[in-house]
Amino acid sequence: MVKKLREYIADAQERGVAIGHFNISNIEALWGIFRAAQKLDVPVIIGTSEGERDFIGLKQAVALVKSIREEYDYPIFLNADHTYSFEGVKEAIDAGYDAVIFDGLKVTTEENIEITKKCVDYARSVNPDILVEAELGNIGKSSKILDEIPEGAETTDEVLTKPDIAKEFVAATGVDLLAPAVGNLHGMLKEGRNPAINVDRVGEIKNATGVPLVLHGGSGISDDDFTKAIKAGVSVIHINTEIRVAYRDALKQSIQENPDEVAPYRILKSSVHAVQAKVEERLKLFNHL
């Protein structure tokens, strides 16, 4: 029987592993992610950003993930990734999402606290099992290939989330999960690896807050940094850009190699396999398999 997402995250903390969170905007990516998780027998979280929800459909994403969970009796969960308003969070909660994120990037710290608490209170009133995550610090907002580090997302100490502020934030909001800025950034740099994660800061924030930490912007981070970040207190890791690139490249090759093919399920089969391979690679690392 599938347990609550909260229980799987607690188990990940206890075992020193991390649950993989992968974004989708269509059913091909969903099947690729699910098949990778199923093969390795590990729980997985599916994410949809505001843009991805607009494309795939809010209630449709819920129905798709729920159908897989029920048919296969499998721990696959759905998260409303990077939502920038209370109204957006409420909409996802009402639609049946298992978890939601309020991203306060566009508001002041005071407003971030106020809106996050409002999200937490509403989620508790609907279903105490719905997890609410908040983001504290600037790690950018675009899951794409980057030419350089975006302005404001540098890895200086002034930009990184501070443990004492994180502690106050968690206490004031009652949030279940926290996504701090620890040197991570959304997207992937075109040349080379993304900046190194400040692992010491991860541990300091974990010790100060006591809540599970989420590492956003996982695409482009080195395997060594992933392993160290998990050991320091990260329990969920977000990957998006990497699987988008895998999907695109496989699709491009499929069309080039089969220019006369018009059946979408044949054209897109290689993209499903490419997503599965990339997700499997990440899940093995996150779960020490």
How large is the average pLDDT for residues 56-67? 98
Residue range 77-90: average pLDDT?
97
- How far, in Å, CA of 141 to CA of 7, rounded? 29
CA torsion, points 118, 122, 128, 131, in degrees to nearest 10? -60
Cα(63)–Cα(182) distance, integer angstroms: 34
Decide: 92 and 57 in contact? Cβ < 8 Å: no
Q: Which residues are catalytic?
A: 81
Confidence of residue 105 (pLDDT cuts 50, 70, 90): confident
184 neighbors 221 (Cβ within 8 angstroms) = yes
Type of residue found at 41 = D
Task: Identify the DSSP state of 104.
Answer: G
Span 213-225, average pLDDT: 91
**H or E stretch including 92?**
helix 86-95
pLDDT digits (tens, 9 = 90+) for 112-168: 999 999 999 999 999 999 999 999 887 665 554 444 554 544 455 667 899 999 999
Mean pLDDT of 275-283: 98
Whole-number average pLDDT of the chain: 91
* All structural domains of the chain with their residue ranges: 5-286
- Give the pLDDT of residue 144: 47
> What is the per-residue burial (b if ≥16 Cβ within 10 Å, else e) of 276-285?
bebbbebbeb
pLDDT tens digits, residue range 29-41?
999 999 999 999 9
For 190-216, b/e burial (b = at least 16 CB within 10 A) is eeeebbebbbebbbbbbebbebbbbbb
**Does the pLDDT at position 190 exceed 50?**
no
Taking alpha carbons only, the member of 79, 43, 229 closest to residue 34 is: 43
Percentage of the chain modeled with pLDDT above 70: 89
Q: Does domain 5-286 have CATH number 3.40.1410.10?
A: no
What pLDDT was estimated at residue 142? 53
Q: At what angle do helices 86-95 and 109-126 cross, to 10 degrees?
A: 20
Let me know: does 130 contact 95? Beta carbons within 8 Å: no
Q: Please report the pLDDT score of residue 106 as a whole number.
A: 87
pLDDT of 67 higher than 80: yes
The 3-state secondary structure of 224-246, one letter per residue: HHHHHHHHHCEEEEEECHHHHHH
pLDDT digits (tens, 9 = 90+) for 230-269: 999 999 999 999 999 999 999 999 999 999 999 999 999 9
Kindly report which listed range (1-15, 42-56, 135-149) carries the lowest average pLDDT score: 135-149
Non-local (6+) Cβ contacts of 115 within 8 A are 85, 86, 102, 104, 107
Q: How far apart, in whole angstroms, are the C-alpha atoms of residue 106 and residue 98? A: 24
Identify the CA nearest to 235 among candidates 219, 218, 254, 222. Answer: 218
